[in-house]
A and B are shown apart, each in its own frame.
Chain A
Amino acid sequence: MDTDLELLARLRDGDEEAFVTLVTRYQHPMLRLARSYVPSRAVAEEAVQDTWMGVVKGIERFEGRSTFKTWLFRILVNRARTAGSREQRHAPLEPQRAVDPIRFDANGQWADPVDRWAEDSENHLEAAAWGPVLRSGLEDLPARQRQVVVLRDVEGLSSDEVCAVLEISAGNQRILLHRGRTRLREILEAQIAKA
């Protein structure tokens, strides 16, 4: 698979196929991210399209000081914020428990043994089958948690890169990551209990 930088070099030379490959690689993550800033799918699509236009026309401005991915997502977040009908209110983060308190006894210890499904190799082998569950789980996360989890865990950005893209503090990044991951864990657990 071509790296982003290889594709970018070809894109500089006007290679249409390189453009299509990049779009295929990032279109859905971008839509997912944009959707968390704007009220409708149509507006999100516009913000994404705008971003690609910015990339094509501004490719000479990419200096390679950040990864292409970080640069791309930063442009997108800027466009999506502008497109959002109202500025996202950054309400203080309300306390939220990682695990339903009902699962603990009065001493704060697990009331029942924790199922060891993560160590069960069968579940690992079927990683591909989890795609749809996780995708719909991500859609259900509150917008700010989704932004962080998508960038960190799905797209593999570092915590510093996520802070730069979303313009949030390291502390808030961690809180949002914690909540998003614990919520996704609950969704997996519920799915496994059903199976």
Chain B
Amino acid sequence: MLSLRRRDIVCQEAVELVTDYLEGTLSRRSRRRFEAHLRACPNCSAYLEQIRMTIDLSGTIEPEDLSPEARAELTELYRRWRSE
């Protein structure tokens, strides 16, 4: 069994800090501890990469195409609004 220094964070705590870390809202001391944990823990590093990839992929979601009907309806509405 690993002996943990009192102030070290464990993996289960580290995963809860990921968003605050990426948002840059951790205190300097927490950030240092978090980064120290990452350096020593390939599992949490892999987890962080998974979160980063999730964020990147969310940014690649393309808007679905509008159906021709929806487009026609909105064009019709636009003309009406403009003439009101």
Q: Give residues in A with beta carbon < 8 Å to B.
A: 14, 16, 19-20, 23-29, 49, 52-53, 56-57, 97-99, 101, 104, 107-110, 113-119, 123-124, 127-128, 130-131, 134-135, 149, 153-154, 156, 159, 174, 177-178, 181-182, 184-185, 188-189
Contact = CB atoms under 8 A, between A and B. Distances in A.
Given A154-B58, A154-B59, A182-B51, A109 B10 contact: yes
Contacts of B20: 174, 178
B interface majority secondary structure: helix
Contacts of A127: 56-57, 60
B66 A110 contact: no
Contacts of B19: 174, 177-178, 181-182
Contact of B66 (A23, A119, A154): A23
A114 B50 CA distance: 10
Given A49-B77, A107-B4, A135-B61, A23 B52 contact: no
A109 B57 contact: no
B74 interface: yes
Contacts of B46: 114-116, 118-119
A interface majority secondary structure: helix
B61 A114 contact: no
A19 B50 contact: no
Contacts of A27: 63, 66, 70, 74
Interface in B1-41: 1-2, 4, 10-13, 15-16, 18-20, 23, 25
A101 B70 contact: no
A24 B15 contact: no
Contacts of A26: 63
Contacts of B10: 104, 107-109
A143 to B, nearest CB: 17
A185 B57 CA distance: 10
A34 to B, nearest CB: 15
Given A118-B52, A178-B19, A134 B57 contact: yes
Given A123-B53, A184-B54, A178 B71 contact: no
Given A23-B66, A24-B71, 18 more contacts: A14-B82, A16-B75, A16-B78, A25-B63, A98-B16, A98-B18, A108-B11, A108-B13, A110-B11, A118-B50, A118-B53, A127-B60, A130-B57, A135-B61, A149-B58, A181-B19, A182-B51, A184-B58
